[in-house]
Chain A
Amino acid sequence: MASLPKRIIKETERLVSDPVPGITAQPHEDNLRYFQVTIEGPQQSPYESGVFELELFLPDDYPMEAPKVRFLTKIYHPNIDRLGRICLDVLKTNWSPALQIRTVLLSIQALLASPNPNDPLANDVAEDWIKNEEAAIEKAREWTRLYAKPK
C-alpha cells in the first residue's frame, strides 16, 4: 500500500482529538483510508435521535479527488438512495482539495437537516416528498426509529 500522505494522518488525528459534535469517524485498522462513520440525526429534523452509520473511503488521489461516502443505515431521504449513495455537490463537482473529511461529514449532517427533493437521487422518495411532505417526513421518522437505533 502506498504510504499515507501526511494530510490524511493529520486529519485523522484531528478527528479523534477534536471530534465534531454528533459525528464520529474511526479509521479501519487494516486500511487507514477507510473510515467507519456515525452521524446523529440533527435536531428538529425527521432524523432526530437516530444514529446513522456510514462508510467513508479516501481514494488514492485524495485530496485532489473527493472522498467516497455511503450510508450503511437505511434512511428515507430524497437525496439518498436505497444503496445509501448520497447526492451532494461537494462530493461531486464542487469538491475542492481545501475541503476535508470533517467538512464533508458536516455537509452530510446538514443535508439530513434540509432535504432537497428538487435535486433528487431517490426519485420515488422525492416524489412522495413533493406530493405529501408531512407523510414523507413521518415515514422518515418511522424509518429512523426502525433502523437508526442508537446502540
Chain B
Amino acid sequence: MTAEGGKGSERKRFFHEELEDSILEASLENEDSFLFQQPDANGAQPKEDDEIEKIKNVIPDLTYSQASNLLKRAEAVDLHGERISTAVDLYFESSPTNYKSSHPSSVQKAMQPSPAHSSTESPKPLNMSITTPTKRKKALEGSSHKKRKHTIEWRRFIGALQVNALATRPTTKPLQYGTKLEIIKNLSDNPASRLYTSNGKKKASMANYVRLFHPDSRREVGRVPENIAQILFPLADTDELEFEATMVFCDNKRLSVGDTFIVQLDCFLTSLIFDKTEVRGENKFSQEKRSFSQAVVESDDELEMRSRRLALLALFDQVHMRPHVDGVDIITNSSEKEVIDLEDDSTGEDIDSITNKDHTIQNTQIQQDVLDLKQLKSFYKSALSMESSKILPETTPPPEVFKLDLRPYQKQGLTWMLRREREFDLSPSVGSAEDVDGNMMNPLWKQFSWPRDLSWTTQRLEVQQTIQKSEAQLFYANLHTGEFSETKPVIKSMLKGGILADEMGLGKTISVLAMISMVPFDVKYDEKRRIEENDDVVITDQVFLNGNIVGSKPYASKTTLIIVPMSLLSQWQQEFDKACRDPSMRCEIYYGSNISNLKTLLTRTKTPPAVLLTTYGTVQNEWSRSLSQSNTGLFSVEFFRIVIDEGHTIRNRSTRTSKSMMDLTSSRRWVLTGTPIINRLDDLYSLVKFMKLEPWSQVGYWKTFVSEPFEKKDYKQAFDVVSSILEPVLLRRTKQMRGADGKPLVELPPKEVTIEKVKFNEYEDKLYKYFLNRAENSVKEGLARGDLLKKYSTILVHILRLRQVCCHVNLLGSQDENDEDLAERKGFTENVNVSNLIGQNDKPSGFTDDEFKIVLNDINDKFPSDDSLRGLECSICTSEPIDPVTQVLFTECAHAFCENCILEYIKFQGEKNQKPKCPNCRHEIDLKRLLSVKESGGKLSITLYDNSSRSSKICALLKDLKRLQEACPGEQIVVFSQFSSYLDILEAELSSSFSSSSAKIYKFDGRLSLKDRTRVLNDFGVKDLTRLKILLLSLKAGGVGLNLTCASRAYMMDPWWSPSLEDQAIDRIHRIGQINNVKVTRFIMEHSVEEKMLRIQDRKRSLGEAVDADEEERRKRRIEEIQMLFE
C-alpha cells in the first residue's frame, strides 16, 4: 500500500498526526498510579532502568512506566534473552490496540465501544481491540502477573479481506480513508441454538448480528455481507482471533442507507489459539470417535464448536491460506530436519534456511489443487516409499540363520520391517522410535506458513518484517477440529507390523522370511518368562506385554502364522526350506484337521513350529465354527506374528474371510500385497483394520476422512489423508524404482508381448455372425427402449457367446465361470445347438455316403494294418512317422498328412484364392472331404474328419508350438485362459497333436487339489531337454502368487476385461529369477469382439482402475463398454 520511497515521510506523518497528540502519555500516565508503579515499588533494579532507557530511546513517546511494563511483558514472552527487542516488538505489534487506542479523543479510540455500549450489547469482551478500557486494564494487569496464560502474548497477521460493507445508517459526513471501524456483535444473548436448527442447519442470517460501528459517533455504520458475518460471528468474540476493520473506500461522500463502502478486514491469530492446543494429540481421537460413530443431536456447545470450525474454514479459504503439499514436506524434511523442529529455531542460521524453505513453499502453493484421477493414482503409487528407499540402511540377515542372499532393496526392506517391529537392536544405526515413525504429521493437520504482514496497521506503521523473525515461519492447524499448534503434531503409532506392498516379483516372501529368521519369537516375552520361572514370581501376561492385546488367550510367543491363498501354500513352504538354515526352526502346514490341538502344540510344547502356514479357507472355516467352540484352533491362541500374503484378499470387509482375519490375535501383524488397491480406496480400510492401526481402524473415522471426501470428489483430501495414514506403515517399491546406486531395483530381461491376429475359419465366421447379429439386435433394442440396464445380463450372455466362438465353438453353452455379473443369475442355461444354427447345407461331411465308402475302402486297401497306419510319413513336414497317429489325415486320394500341415496348406491355398490340391498327386481336395484316424482301446479306425470342432485359435497355437518344438524342444510354455472348460479342450487338442515323447502337458486350475497343484508345479519346473512342457493355466487360479520363472514363453488365449489381471498373469513368468527374454503372444480373433476388448483394456489403463468408484459407477462403465463393443 505504501511505496518504498515514502517510508520516511509516512512515518513522520504517523507520529505527528497520531502520536504527537501525546495521547499515550495522557492515557497511560493515569494508569501509572495504580498499575504500573507496582513493579517499581517492589524494587526496580538499575539494570532494568538501563533497559527502560534503551526502549525509550527506540520509542521516544513511551513513558517510563509504560516502558517498564513493556519490559515486564517482554520478559514473560521472550524466549531468547533479548528483552529489549522483544519489548519493542511487543510495542509495535500491539500498539494500535493496547496503547494508542486508549485515548478517548483519538481516531484510534474508535476501536472501542463505550462502556455503556459494551455492557448492553456485548457482555463479553469481543477481543482486545474492542475491549473497554477497564477490561483492557485487567488484561494488562494479568499479563504481568498470574493470568499470563490467558493473555494474548502476541498475534500474527494471517490475511486481509476486502469487504463490501453495506451502509445501514446514513452518516453526516464522509468517512475518512483509514478510519478504524469497530466490529460489534449486537446479539446480547447468542446461544448457538438460536442460529441453528437442531439438525445443524443455519436458521438465521448472521449478518443481522454483526455490525460495523463508527468510532466517534458510536453509531452503527453498516453491516457486512453474510459470508463475512459467518466468519466474524463465531470468531469475533474469542480471544483466539482478532479482527480489525479499516475503512478504505466510501466514494468520499456521505453514506446513505444501502450504499456500499469497502472495508479492509485484517485478520490475526493470537497466541491464545495456540495455547489451547498444546496438549492435544492422541487423546483427542478417542473423544471424537464417539461423535462420529453415533448420530447424536448436537448440543449448544457442539453447535458453537461447529460454527467456529466452519468459520475458521471459511476464513482460511477467504484469506487464501493454503496448506503445504505433503510431498514437499517430505522432501524438505530430509535436508532440513532441524529447522522444522520448531523447538529450537532461534538461531540466525536457521532463519536463513527458513527463508529458503519459504521459497519452496511459495512454489508448491502454486501447484494446482485438483489433480486428475490418473495423477492421483500415480501420486499415490509413487510417492509413498521413494524417500525411504534412499535413506534406509541395509540389514543383512546372519548367514547362520538365513541361507539366501538378499538384494540391496530387500535388505533395506528388512531394516524397515525390523524397525516397524521395534527390533532396534537388529537393524543398523537406528536410535529411537521417532525415526521409525518419522516426522509423520497427523494427516488432519495441515502445515501453513505465516504470510507477510500486510495489515493496515503494520503498513501504516512501516514496521519492518524483521521484528517477527524470532518467530516460527510455520504453524499447523487442524481445520477439521479448529485446533492450532505451533509445533508439528506428530503421530506416534504403537503398531508393530505394517504393509509390505512391493510390486509383484520383488520378493516379498523372501523379505518376510528373512525377518522371521531374524526375529523368530518374542524375545522380551521369553526373557520375562525365564525370570519369572527363576524367581518363581507369578506375573500375568498383561504386565510384561505392556499394552499388547492379551486377553485370556495363551500367547504363542514362538510362532508366526502365515496365511496364504491355497495355490501358494507349497511355494511358501519351499521358500522357507530354501531360506532358513536354523534347524530349530520348522515350518508346518495347518489344514485345520491335521493338528488336533493347536493350542497345546504352540504354547505347551518345547519346540513349537516357528512358522505355521495355513490358508484363508482354513481360517474362515475355523472362524465359522469357533463362534461356538474355540478352545484348540487358530482362534484359541495369540500368535507372536501374523502375516497375510496377497492381503488384498480381505479387501471386502463384509466377507467372512475378511471378518475371520480381523478376529485373529497377535502382537505383530503384517500384510503382504502387490496391489493394495484393487477397485476402490476403501480396499485399504480392511488392511488398516486388520493391522489395528488406530484410529483409522475405526470405521467412522475412516468414513469421515477418507470415504466421504472421496465420494464428494474431494480426491485430494482423501488421497492426502490416505497417504499420510499409510506413509509410516506401508513400504512399496516398484520395479521401475531405482536404488541408491541409481540402478533399477530389479533388472529383468526384456519382455515382448505381441498380439497375433487370427482369422476365423468359414465355419466360425458363420457362427460368429449369427451371434453378433443377435447381440446387436438386443443392444439396439435396449438402447432404443432405454432399458439397457435391465437387459444387462442378457447382453453379457450375448457377449460371452461371441467370446466363446472366438475361442472354440464347443465352449458355446457353457457358463463363464469368472463373470460375477453372470454368476449372479443362477440357473442360467442356454441350449446352444450349433448344427441347427448353421443350417442343413453346412453338414460337416462333403461326401455322399457312396463316395465315402469308396474312399474308405481305398484307404483300408492301401493301409490294411494298424502298423501301416502308424508308419505314415507326411510329405509336408517330412515327419516320419506321423505321431501321434491321431494326427493323420487322409485326403480322398488316400494320401496321408499331418492334420496341422494339411490344414495349414488348405488355408494357405485359400488365402491365395487357389483350389487346394493334394500335395502328392494334385487331386483336388476339400476340407469337408477329409478322413481322420481315431484311436480307441488301442485299435485304430478311420472316420470322417469333423472340421467343425477345429478352432482357428487353437490351430494358431498348435502351429506356434510345433515350430517351437522343432526349434527348441526343451522349452517350457505357459498357456493362459480364463475359461477352465477351454483349458480342457486345449488339453485334449494338445495331447492329440503332440506325442508324449515330444511334449508334456499340464493343467492347473481351481479344480486341482492342493497335492496335485504341488506336483504339477514341481513337475513343470523341471526342464526336460527332449520335450516341450506346456502348462495350461487358468487366469484366475494361477494369476497370483505363482512363480513360473522356469518358463520364458507364454500364450494368452483370450483377452480379459481388465488389463491388470493379464499383466499379473504375465508377471508370473516375468519376475525375479527370470533369466531369459520373455515372449508373450496374445491371440486375438480378427474383426471380433476381442479386438474391441483390447480397446476397452486400453481405456481402462488410461482411466486408472484404482478409482473405479462404486457399483453403480462400475455398471455404468460397463454399459459404456458394451456400447463400445457394438459401435
Contact = CB atoms under 8 A, between A and B. Distances in A.
B114 interface: no
A96 interface: yes
B922 interface: yes
A9 B966 CA distance: 10
B876 A97 contact: yes
Nearest to A94: B922
Interface string B944-975: 00000000000000000001101110000000
A64 B964 contact: no
Nearest to A10: B878
Given A64-B904, A96-B919, A4 B967 contact: yes
Contacts of B878: 6-7, 10-11, 100
Contact of A98 (B914, B919, B963, B966): B919
Q: Which of A3, A5, A6, A100 has the most CB atoms of chain B within a 10 A radius of its CB?
A: A6
A29 interface: no
Interface in A58-88: 61, 63-65
B154 interface: no
B966 A5 contact: yes
Contacts of A98: 875-876, 919-920
A93 to B, nearest CB: 8
B901 interface: yes
B531 interface: no
B966 A64 contact: no
A141 B412 CA distance: 83
A91 B1038 CA distance: 49
B285 interface: no
A7 B877 contact: yes
B917 interface: yes
Contact of A64 (B905, B920, B922, B963): B905
Contact-size category for B: 20 to 34
B963 to A, nearest CB: 6
A10 B914 CA distance: 28
B908 interface: yes
A131 to B, nearest CB: 35
Contacts of B919: 96-99
A92 to B, nearest CB: 11
A100 B877 CA distance: 10
A93 B904 CA distance: 18
Contacts of A94: 922
Contacts of B918: 96
Contacts of B968: 3
B3 to A, nearest CB: 79
Given A96-B922, A97-B901, A97-B919, A6 B908 contact: no
B920 A96 contact: yes
Given A61-B908, A97-B875, A97-B901, A3 B963 contact: yes
A52 B901 CA distance: 34
Given A11-B878, A64-B904, A64-B905, A96 B917 contact: yes
A3 B967 contact: yes
Interface string B898-923: 00010011001000001001111010
A134 B920 CA distance: 38
Contacts of A3: 963-964, 966-968
Contacts of B879: 6
A5 B922 CA distance: 24
A2 B967 CA distance: 9
A94 B919 CA distance: 10
Interface in A97-112: 97-100
A35 B968 CA distance: 23
B750 to A, nearest CB: 17
Contacts of B963: 2-3, 5
A65 to B, nearest CB: 8
Interface in A1-47: 2-7, 9-11
B875 A6 contact: no
Nearest to A11: B878
A97 B879 CA distance: 13
A98 B919 CA distance: 5
B846 to A, nearest CB: 21
A97 B963 CA distance: 17
Contacts of A96: 917-920, 922
A85 B948 CA distance: 43
B611 to A, nearest CB: 45
A33 B966 CA distance: 16
Q: Which of A10, A64, A94 has the most CB atoms of chain B within a 10 A radius of its CB?
A: A64
A5 to B, nearest CB: 6
4 closest Cβ contacts across the A-B interface? A3-B967, A98-B919, A98-B875, A6-B966
Interface of B: 875-879, 901, 904-905, 908, 914, 917-920, 922, 963-964, 966-968
10 contacts: A3-B968, A4-B966, A7-B877, A7-B878, A63-B876, A64-B905, A93-B914, A97-B905, A98-B875, A98-B919
Given A11-B878, A64-B908, 19 more contacts: A3-B963, A3-B966, A5-B877, A5-B963, A5-B966, A6-B877, A6-B879, A6-B966, A7-B876, A7-B877, A9-B966, A61-B908, A63-B876, A64-B904, A96-B917, A96-B920, A96-B922, A98-B920, A100-B878
